[in-house]
Structure 1
Amino acid sequence: MEYRGFKCILFFNIFINSIFISEQNKEEVLLDMSASGSELGWLKWPDEDGWEMAQTVVNGSLHYNYFVCNVESPAGQDNWLRTTFIQRQPTATRVFVELRFVVRDCNSFNGASLTCKETFNLYASDSDVDIGTSFRKNHFRKVATIAPDEISRVGELKINTETRVVENLSRKGFYLAFQDIGACVALYSVRVYYKICPATIKSLAAFPETVAGGDKQNLRKVAGECVENAVSEDQPLIYCTVDGEWVVPVGQCQCRAGYAAAGDVCQGCQPGFFKADVSSEACQQCPANTQPSEAGALICPCQDGYYRAPTDLPSAGCSGLPSEPVDLAVTTVPSTVGKVTMSWSPPEDAGGRSDLTYHVTCERCDDSGCVPCEDRVRYEPGSTDLTDTSVLVSQLEPSVNYTFSVEARSGVSQFSNQRALSSITTSLHYTDPLKVTTMQLDERSSNSLSLSWTVSRKAAHNRYQLMYRKKDGEGETFSSGTTYTVLILENNWVQIGELAPATAYLFRVQAVNVDNSPVSDIMEHEFTTTAEAPNQGNTSVILGAAVGGGAMLLIVVVVLLIRKRRRGSHTRQGPEDTYFSPEQLKPLKTYVDPHTYEDPNTAVHKFTKEIHPSHVTKQKVIGAGEFGEVYRGILKVPGRKDLAVAVKTLKPGYSEKQRQDFLSEASIMGQFTHQNIIRLEGVVTKFKHAMIVTEYMENGALDKYLKDHDGEMSSTQLVGMLRGISAGMKYLSDMSYVHRDLAARNILVNCNMECKVSDFGLSRVLEDDPEGTYTTSGGKIPIRWTAPEAIAYRKFTSASDVWSFGIVMWEVMAFGERPYWDMSNHEVMKAINEAFRLPAPMDCPSAVYQLMLQCWQHDRSKRPRFPDIVSILDKLLKSPESLKAIADFDPRVSIRLPSTSGSDGSPFRSVSEWLESIKMSQYSENFSCAGVVSMEQVLQMKSEDIRNIGVRLPGHLKRIAYSILGLKDQTSTLSVFAV
């Protein structure tokens, strides 16, 4: 007993000088023995000669502790101390137990070292109810053996602190118990707590207080809510660690338009400031020529007389109207008839804008007033939306007063009725006389003539005076003493009847003015009426038609000869005759590698179209690329119908090189125009957030689309999709371009099931040599889709793209199955070098599989070219009967399409495991409800049995049936390399 009494006093002294202060912001305490000021009520078992309680007064407060010291007692001590029922939070499945204790060194007890222990055990038991004084050792599970870090010695006792974790708590509460097996130990502080992540606000998202995760959930995902006046496209998330720390925030809330972040809240913009959209930007001061805004403004209104164009950003200042153009002048064009050049200088005041255009109008003026010229005059390059300060005007008439007006307009002119107009009046005067240059006989009969004539230039008024008479002894002139007929005509042709047959007539014509006064020289001619005379006009027409027909025949013959020579030069030996249509002739356009430009931005500006960011609306994230997220969006261009697009974005914090690499793909796509190549709509480069905008493909990537529609499409539909892909690849190869990453994942499908080649991240231009190769300097290549020579020597050609197209054919006919299944890249390369080729997919037409094998020729010179492939697929589509012959299907080979055996080749242990291996786990319940619960029953099933349990899709029905066939085969574990 002297050990025990001495020990208690010393323990209390230690306890008095040691008070633990918890971190209240990260821990929730469930039990704190040292803070209790009353009887603890802990259960001792056995009740005697075991744990004892001691108490002392510290600073006026009563403190309790427990100790046991039976080191002199016989071996085999088993003394238990159990806490009261500790209730827990439902989410606190993991608690920490902190113990502060002292254990005496057994060497300090004379003669007791043989039975003395220096450790004790911690146990735990969870329960839904408080069981009171009932105690059963078998209800407890051991948590840990507690040993001091440093054994305490007499005179140098040292407090030990140990913390242990109690896991997997699932009931309403729990007990802790301490087992003594023969030690001298004093337990004076037991603190039980769980850790929490305190309520916090991060990136304007509020997250509630959260219990830290357990051992099996080291990170607990917590959803947050945006603070007031903040929004987020996706719900913000964060993770709470087991140590009560918030980490990895996902998503970001941004203040609404009219609000900006101020610490952890969104405050309205102050008067005189605005914010136009949802963003993390600060409020901006109202720009020039605007009125001071009110608090929380989305935009600053323009001052009177100032405006914003629809395409102007809210941050742009308001603009005034331009003044009128100055220095308007008209200059006659030398050596021309009826042409003038108009020129002017820009307005002295452009209103602060750079988008000036000019509009030219014309009026014809006389004594009665002015009327619009309408289409009587022509303008080059046009009369509206001019950016240059000059225009060529033609088809003007002489001696007519023309008033030309030039109006300056800008993007804000539509908002005002004021016109910035300058006008000038001019007329044309000619010094050279007007002449009737020719007169000809168009038709004649025994008593009529048809005549026409031309003049040297256009007259002010198209009126003509025609005189005619018989040729007789009165002479050959129209003198005052002769008799003749006078006609005033509005046209330059006339038909005269009631003439004397076989008689010569004299004709005289000249242009006249409004008052019939002559304004031109006279043209005289003699014509004879006769029915027998040859019709000169008709003869000219017939002769011209004959000459024209002969020329056209000659052109057709030349074209056919050239086409024949081109077809002859492209003739190749193979199982299919190559057919070249005119569209398959190599285009004049050749791809230009954007990397050859010293400044990459030059290629972007040359091959792409710039889009204003206000025209692009992002709607929903549909994927993530190497450089950032990809959105579905809407392109709204003024004057065009809204267009659904895909928007690739560049993530924040990018380097200049990343920006150039990001935009280089746009420089490549911008050079392609083909219905089976993804279409580039434009780029956003002149603003902070760069974007690439392409057409939107509703059905996404081809591999996923095929998996989602397994067995739902016919062979004809699948071949049609392949034909589209091959047409796109033919276009690329004709442009001397190698894709290098042709795979089903890089083919996109639109709502019409039309396939388009995309993803030009690995693509490179062909070198200008006979082999047409591209040698890479390194980097990863897609092994399963890449030709052997490209893997071994990094030589990429259109022939290596053909190999990849063969793999794409296999993917399509196998409804998106992974090529070479679960083989490693090393196994794939080894198998290809050993002449292994993928087997025919189920129900694959023989002609299609033979084309695959041709694409997989080891000698690249023997592979078909893309024009050949397009031709072959066209012929198959035109002859559906050719797709009915199915290639041989060997279930022993296709056993891994997908695997029908366990990963180790052993039989499956359950039906569900087998269904999961062939990706048909959605039918597990069908098999179970039908009473098929063992693999022995599965092996007895027939196609009709499979259909009767609810498998309706043809592709799924065949996959399950072929898998059962493979399981029945004794050689079902045959290696895929044994083909």
Structure 2
Amino acid sequence: AHAYGLPRWEVVQRTLNGSQFYTYSICNVEEREQDNWLRTTFIQRHPLASRVFVELKFIVRDCNSFDGASLVCKETFNLYTSESDADVGTTFRKSQFKKVATIAPDEITGKNEMHINTETRVVDGLSRKGFYLAFQDIGACIALLSVRVFYKTCPGTVQNLATFPETVAGGENQPLTKVSGVCVDNAASEESPRIYCTEEGKWAVQVGQCQCKPGYEEVKDACQECRPGSFKAEASSDACEPCPANTDTLEHGAVLCPCKDGFFRAPTDPTTGPCSGETRPPSAPRDLSAVRQPSVGRLILSWTPPEDTGGRNDITYSVECQRCDGVVCQPCGERVRYEPGSTKLTEARVSVSELEAHLNYTFIVQAHSGVSQLASEAQRPASRSNVTIFLHYTDPPQITTMRLVGRTSTSLALSWDVSPRPRAQLHVRYKLTYHKKTTYTVLTLDKNSAQIKDLAPGTAYLFIVQALGSDDNSEGSRMEEHFETLTEGSPSQNYTVLLVAAVGVAMMLIVVFAFLFFHRRKRNSHTRQGPEDTYFSTPEQLKPLKTYVDPHTYEDPNVAVLKFATEIHPSHITKQKVIGAGEFGEVYRGILKAPGRKEVAVAIKTLKPGYTEKQRQDFLSEASIMGQFSHQNIIRLEGVVTKFKHAMIVTEYMENGALDRYLRDHDGEISSFQLVGMLRGIAAGMKYLSDMSYVHRDLAARNILVNNNMECKVSDFGLSRVLEDDPEGTYTTSGGKIPIRWTAPEAIAYRKFTSASDVWSFGIVMWEVMAFGERPYWDMSNHEVMKAINEAFRLPAPMDCPSAVYQLMLQCWLQDRAKRPRFGDIVSLLDKLLRSPESLKTIADFDPRVSIRLPSTSGSDGSPFRSVSEWLESIKMSQYSENFTCAGIVTMEQVLQMKTEDIKNIGVRLPGHLKRIAYSILGLKDQTSTLSVFAV
């Protein structure tokens, strides 16, 4: 290390707990304007490590332990960094160094005690070959014990038989690094295995599972050959199986077990099944009989299974048919129908229809087994039975319908249908009787239609039709109908049809008119509810809300999915790009093109291969929940894929992604009116869920999605809602641990999750939105957050936050949950604010010295800023450094003289940025020490 400035840092030998160690120390607390630097030697950077961690161990002396020096003494020091492509030796220029952080101790050392502090800071965005670290003392009494510089990696690992190399974790701009893996020896995968390395150096979400090849089984993280006497036929995660009966293998890595001598498999036997020693086919079916059912025109063949099955249980039957006309016999052909079929019958029964009368039919039924093909020609006839039957229809067919096909004033045209349909060889005659009062007329007809003439006009007649048997003696069932002739001079039948159609159209118009009348009346009744309810007067909101049904109450979760979600065929889905990774697999942007619908952009959640059934059910439970909701501020479920190998959940695509990241990317670019509008949408979605008796339990800006119209929609319904004991006070879900900083105190302490606890979370979301995605409670630990809340601490108003909005936040954070507003109240209040934009101009009190976002009074440790660029960087406005330089404002004294108009003139146009810089200058003028959030 190299020291710069006077007095310099010195190497000092110290004794702690009986052990000696060396420190870099400096202690010049009586003089003002201290500026002493200690720089490291050149640190080579790993080419892939853009982010490094700096762990410091140090001691800081309590200023109150120095008599008379407490006014100028400091208790902090600063950490800087500078990148370089080569070692510059002892050359040192302050302007090349960039401030990383101000380092403050958790415990200070008094006269009679010593406390060693450990702090870790992140240096991100490194890109050159190496870098230096530097430590600036501004008047403190410090001893620097050690500096450890490291970067994080995901260690080399073998997961699911795939090898992944050690990988350097990405930085803030690349939170997930995709890493391709290689299957271990003798393993393979349908798709290339890959995994993601998180910025914390942990592996997450493997895709593409390797499986041991045929002949190999998984043993720990390797694939080993099957031992002699066992085999594995397919690539899978299964273990090798013992060879089945009458098979064996003496080889390692067997894919199949061959039959022993004297045993064999039939062609239809599975290659993984046992071998059989029996070779004979089954004997013939017994007691073959045919029962005629003339009323429906079919035969029922039935038989008893063969007495001898040949030692097998795979017996099936086939039926052959021959018809004989005199002495000539021929196959029946495709004209005859069999139910359920003519081959591969497993039941000893078959129905035969479409047969013709006055013919001899011979039916041959043969029994088969898996070895029938191996039998000789001499053996096969022993498996057959036959029966012959002569068909002669003495029973007539049945009349099924009779209808009027035409009429005049003196004639009626009729037709009728019969069953079974008579064959061409079978002559069927019909008897038609009709009468008027006591006059009967009987006709015998050769066809199933008749034209009756010489009838009286405007007269009703009763018609009776019957089919006659082949001997003209037997009669079938009767069919009776009344038909009436037209009156003299009456309009034609077509005119009557047109008249009926006209009446039908008139009735439809009356129904439509009535519907519009009552709908308008219903709408007017709702507009009389008052201006507060205009949002809830849409047809969707007028429906009575149903109650949410927990899919976990279903005995079979798959039933819940089918009940609440639409099944989509995977051919209608096109994946385009990976946009994230969840607990269960990758998330894609894609296109859904369903039949009859236009293409829509969608988000596609996938389930990684190798999942368990429980993981699949947990994955699909989110769809079972989401499918019950229908609201413009709730993410819409398009459907699911469950009936195919790769399960998927398909939702609408939100172009701008998660709300917290969207706000950070547009910091200062969105007006307060627009932000309140976004909050109103979230509140409307939560009101809908609350009305359905659904408690979200994880409401946070990261779980709100934003579309191209800046419309916000509540998402993330897939978590198991079980609060568990945890030293950090978090509750565990299938998606990981959720920080308690969004959770209501009663939910943490007593597991009381209600809509009121969701209201508390909504208040935190309001703070996130108005603070443009800032992390609630900043860098406070979970323990510190819980302690502060219990001591009545509440987050301060964000900069430029309307007073009415901040007051609503405080109402959401009331300790007594019964006193918090309901979501309906929140929606009404936000509506009032949006209808009266003037109400948003009153800004809540904002102290730039309190906000961690804005270390406004010089440095966060109280020391003045050394340059304009250092000040702009501290308030995250470094993009305006060139504007200040071009305007000739190069010293902090010039900055302090600036007014709002001056800031506009140098090119700061965005209202949020303009106010941030102006507020910071206001804080700079105060020149008092910055208060930490812990002191507030």
TM normalised by structure 2 equals: 0.47
For the pair shown, the structure with the greater C-alpha radius of gyration is 1
